[in-house]
C-alpha cells in the first residue's frame, strides 16, 4: 500500500526539516565558538580538532580519540590531569553544547542523533596586516582589546617582567626582542634557526599562522583568525614594557 502525504502534512514536514537543519547549524557554530573562544583557556590551545581548525598538541588529539559525551562532560566539568575544570567559567548549557559538538564532529558515541549537520571550518587565519611596517601595525592595534584577546594565550605564557616560562616562554618585552632569546626556555630548532628580531610584522605573521610562518615550530596554537586580533595583541604586548622602553 502506498502512503501519500496530504499537501498540508507534506508542507509541515518540509518546514520541520528546514528548521531542524537550521538548528543543527546553529548548534555546531555555538559549540565551535565555545571550543575556540568562550572557554578560557580555549580548548584549541591544547587539543587538535579538525572542524575547529585547532592543532594543539598538549592534550589528546580529539579526532583520533573520538571521546564519548560522558568523557567530554566529565573532563570539561571537573578537569583531568593538567586540564583545568571549567565548571566555574562555563555554564552547564555551554559545557553540554561543547561536549555534544566535540563528539559529533569526531564521530564519538553518545551524540544526539541529528543534532549537528556539520561541515569542516574552512576559515583561514587573516593576513591583512602582514605587509604593513611595524609602526603601522602598532598604530592599528588597541592594547585594551588586545588584553582581552590575550586571555586565550595565558594558559601557555606569562607576561610579567621576570615571569616564569610555562609551555611557552615568558612574553614580557617580546616586541622587537631577539627571537628565541628568553632565558631558560628550550626552543625548537626551527625557531632558533628563524633568527632576527620579533618585529611587529614578524609577530603578526607568526600570530596569524605559527606553523606557516615558522615550519617546525612547537607552537601548538593554530593562530588568531580575526584580522584585528593580531595588531591588538601586539600593541598590548608592546604596552607592557612601554615605560622601560621610554627610559
Digit-coded pLDDT (tens) for 126-178: 445 555 667 888 889 999 999 999 988 888 899 999 999 988 999 999 999 99
Q: Where in the chain is the domain with CATH 1.10.760.10?
A: 17-106, 134-246
Buried b (16+ CB within 10 A) or exposed e, 205-223: bbbbbbbebbeebbbbbbb
Contact 95, 76 (CB under 8 A): yes
**Top CATH class, 134-246:** mainly alpha
Confidence (pTM)? 0.55
pLDDT attached to residue 211: 86
CATH match of 17-106 with 1.10.510.10: no
Digit-coded pLDDT (tens) for 65-103: 888 888 888 889 887 766 788 888 899 999 999 999 999
Amino acid at each position: 500500500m502506498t502512503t501519500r502525504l496530504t499537501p498540508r502534512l507534506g508542507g509541515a514536514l518540509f518546514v520541520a526539516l528546514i528548521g531542524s537543519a537550521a538548528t543543527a547549524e546553529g548548534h555546531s557554530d555555538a559549540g565551535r565558538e565555545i571550543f575556540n573562544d568562550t572557554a578560557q583557556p580555549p580548548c584549541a590551545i591544547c587539543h587538535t580538532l579538525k572542524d575547529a581548525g585547532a592543532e594543539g598538541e598538549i592534550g589528546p588529539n580529539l579526532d583520533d580519540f573520538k571521546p564519548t559525551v560522558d568523557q567530554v562532560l566529565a573532563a570539561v566539568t571537573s578537569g583531568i590531569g593538567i586540564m583545568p575544570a571549567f565548571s566555574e567559567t562555563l555554564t552547564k548549557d555551554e559545557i553540554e553544547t561543547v561536549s555534544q559538538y566535540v563528539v559529533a564532529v569526531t564521530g564519538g558515541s553518545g551524540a544526539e542523533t541529528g543534532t549537528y549537520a556539520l561541515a569542516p571550518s574552512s576559515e583561514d587565519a587573516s593576513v591583512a596586516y602582514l605587509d604593513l611596517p611595524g609602526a603601522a601595525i602598532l598604530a592599528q592595534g588597541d592594547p585594551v582589546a588586545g588584553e582581552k584577546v590575550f586571555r586565550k594565550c595565558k594558559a601557555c605564557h606569562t607576561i610579567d617582567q621576570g615571569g616564569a616560562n610555562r609551555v611557552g616562554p615568558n612574553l614580557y618585552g617580546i616586541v622587537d626582542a631577539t627571537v628565541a632569546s628568553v632565558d631558560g626556555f628550550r626552543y625548537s630548532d626551527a625557531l632558533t634557526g628563524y633568527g632576527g628580531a620579533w618585529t611587529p610584522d614578524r609577530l603578526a605573521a607568526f600570530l596569524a599562522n605559527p606553523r606557516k610562518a615558522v615550519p617546525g615550530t612547537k607552537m601548538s596554537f593554530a593562530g588568531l583568525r580575526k584580522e584585528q586580533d593580531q595588531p591588538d595583541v601586539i600593541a598590548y604586548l608592546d604596552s607592557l614594557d612601554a615605560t622601560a622602553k621610554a627610559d
